[in-house]
Structure 1
């Protein structure tokens, strides 16, 4: 009896799951490297920050690349780079310095695969219900982002070769999903369209009052909120989780992310009734989550971690959707990819927030710095309100940017040294 054919959209989605998995599998393994290789906090920060150095510049190029060569070739390139990245990071079992180029390649792979993959899934989802392609892409990336740290943390915690086996499992996964995706047909490249379009690095919409006041002041908290959850929450309870550090870090990362994904439908509904409402809700959630981190740091109560992680993840989800809604409202069709790249670049500034907090955490005491940090999202509210009073351009965009989820995997973990 013949096996049923795998639908093209599912093949593409599985490839995106694999790339997202690879992007987010490294952070729970940091306790392993810290204990084995005696890495300094600066080294660990560099290993994670270099992911953003690979991702952000390529985001500005991936749109043009997709227009010129088509989403099929772009996603193929992203999948091959993801496989290469995880193979390079396998060498970290011998030489820790190889984690730097491995993380850089993971960022490049993500930039090529995510946006082009979401576009490709929408293109092959013709005939399905409206919005099915976008939902399928969102589920694919969310599954990869969540499964990566959960599986890597559990494998590193309870199976042998903790600095090697998680990567080998991902390499096997990538070989399988890349093979499934490879034969899916794609639309013809639009080189002529790419040649006609000028992709400004800083488009006119990014210099508008609505973007400068209504987006820029709070954009770093899109990643800043989940980054604090990924990093400082495990650090402030480190004395109570020493036996399960890798698994705990993976679990917290997964919980923050899943909370951010779960709140996005609500965020879209709030966004239809007014951007200011979702803006305030997201910033309040970020502030409340940071205050919760301060309480956890003060008490050392592990039981507080799940609730704080959910609040921080909710702030991430609300602000992420708001940002894409604003980009969608502001962008002319020809500058949509450039404007979303600017927004992503701003959000990646948030990966530095835990590092900045650590500079003021004397002796690993994070309570006071976190309380100060909890006030900062609130300062963005009046500026955002001023920006929201400026009417956006009303021309409907060619592509709905709110259909493309973001990767929260790049963050800077901190350890209580």
Structure 2
């Protein structure tokens, strides 16, 4: 995406408004509203995950349910790819403020459509559209609100705030949805209605966040904005993308594959166990994100290497859990895969922050997340291979570990490639 005409002038002009002045005391908290909307949207994006077991128990096939999990990628990727350049042209506010309302509409359809695969699919796509906007536009907005003149935070703070807002929403949304579906009334709908309320609150809060980019007066052709030349940079291809492949493939393995394999071992509370795996996975990821700064060394690929080591180890443990059907082994796998997810997400976003020019930030973030979310197709792929050719899950997960190790080798080779 091309640079924004007059970007520096637009930032300076917003900084002159009294409510945005750092001296007024509100500027350091300017990012909170955007982060709150991202949190609510991420909650809606992941509340479906622990309910996979419930839908399977209602008679839907494993492949159908895993495809429903993947359906929201059909909304995420287009929203990521076009939302970023549109926000570069028209400002962050116009693209981000509708996102929590879209997420709320998706949750409403999911609440009403338990008996219809088509309605569930549309609800998942809408959840994906909202999440794509939150990642590409919201992530860029938080990054810009975490630097001068809105904040004096250190470089990389915006990436961590963005990653932690999303991961917290993913984890809490899944945990509370699983608990409500297991023990509360209206198991098919209550969790989604809770998210609808959160999305309405997030809409009100994000509307108060200051704009950081003025609309372009002569934006030119949109097709030109869709180009992201820096995505061809060797460091992006050799460090960020190999991590992106596993950011969500790792967690998809943990909370979409393992709960199904172990459902017979927890017959009393299969939805709650699925929620537990999800919370452990994403909670560990959230905790590791706050530690990433201590591991990160600019000019190296240290954080990415740690992430892929964790993912590789986690896939091995997941294969053992699938072979032995042992609950505690599955819990260990969830912890390790969650750590790999959290470290990988921050590693990728920090690489983007260092590589991207202001006009390329949203676009490069979109490319990273688009590749990341393709990983959510892994559970559906494994289910298809299992049903079509009889491939065993332990062997398939072991093969996944080998792919992760190959990605690790690519990053090691590009360890000191300059940004």
TM-score normalized by the length of structure 2:
0.82
Task: Provide Cα deviations, 1:174-201, integer angstroms capped at 9, x if missing partner.
Answer: 2333234445554573223754997554
In structure 2, distance between residues paired with 1:320 and 1:122: 15
Q: Please give the secondary structure, in 1, of the residue aligned with 2:185.
A: coil
Q: Runs of 5+ in structure 2 lacking a partner?
A: 1-25
Q: Which residue of 321, 330, 343 maps to 2:355?
A: 330
In structure 2, distance between residues paired with 1:324 and 1:185: 22
Q: Which residue pairs with 1:35 in the alignment?
A: 57
Q: Which residue pairs with 2:393 in the alignment?
A: 366
1:19 aligns with 2:41: yes
Q: Which residue pairs with 1:341 in the alignment?
A: 366
Contact 1:241 1:248 in 2 (8 A): yes
Contact 1:14 1:177 in 2 (8 A): yes
In structure 2, distance between residues paired with 1:134 and 1:316: 14
1:116 aligns with 2:143: no
1:378 aligns with 2:410: no
1:313 aligns with 2:338: yes
Distance 1:299 1:97, change over 3 A: same
Contact 2:179 2:275 in 1 (8 A): yes
Moved more, 164-173 or 351-360: 351-360
In structure 2, distance between residues paired with 1:332 and 1:189: 16
Moved more, 209-218 or 43-52: 209-218
Alpha-carbon distance, 1:127 to partner: 6.1
Contact 1:214 1:386 in 2 (8 A): no
**Post-superposition, which runs of at least 4 consecutive aligned residues in structure 1 deviate over 6 A?**
none
Alpha-carbon distance, 1:303 to partner: 1.6
Q: Which residue pairs with 1:189 in the alignment?
A: 214
Moved more, 274-283 or 56-65: 274-283
Contact 2:81 2:366 in 1 (8 A): yes
Contact 2:30 2:150 in 1 (8 A): no
Q: Please give the secondary structure, in 2, of the residue aligned with 1:275.
A: coil
Q: Which residue pairs with 1:130 in the alignment?
A: 153
- 1:137-176, aligned counterparts within 5 Å? 137-176=162-201
Q: Which residue pairs with 1:352 in the alignment?
A: 377
Alpha-carbon distance, 1:101 to partner: 0.8
Q: Which residue pairs with 1:80 in the alignment?
A: 101
Q: Please give the secondary structure, in 1, of the residue aligned with 2:414.
A: helix
1:51 aligns with 2:72: yes
1:249 aligns with 2:274: yes
Distance 1:201 1:118, change over 3 A: closer
Contact 1:197 1:334 in 2 (8 A): no
Distance 1:364 1:231, change over 3 A: farther
Alpha-carbon distance, 1:107 to partner: 0.9
Q: Which residue pairs with 1:95 in the alignment?
A: 116
Length, aligned pairs only: 386
RMSD of the TM alignment (CA)? 2.9
Moved more, 177-186 or 72-81: 177-186
Distance 1:334 1:72, change over 3 A: closer
Alpha-carbon distance, 1:327 to partner: 2.6
Alpha-carbon distance, 1:376 to partner: 1.8
Moved more, 174-183 or 81-90: 174-183
Contact 2:39 2:169 in 1 (8 A): yes
Q: Please give the secondary structure, in 2, of the residue aligned with 1:308.
A: helix
Moved more, 10-19 or 83-92: 10-19
Q: Please give the secondary structure, in 1, of the residue aligned with 2:290.
A: helix
TM-score normalized by the length of structure 1:
0.82
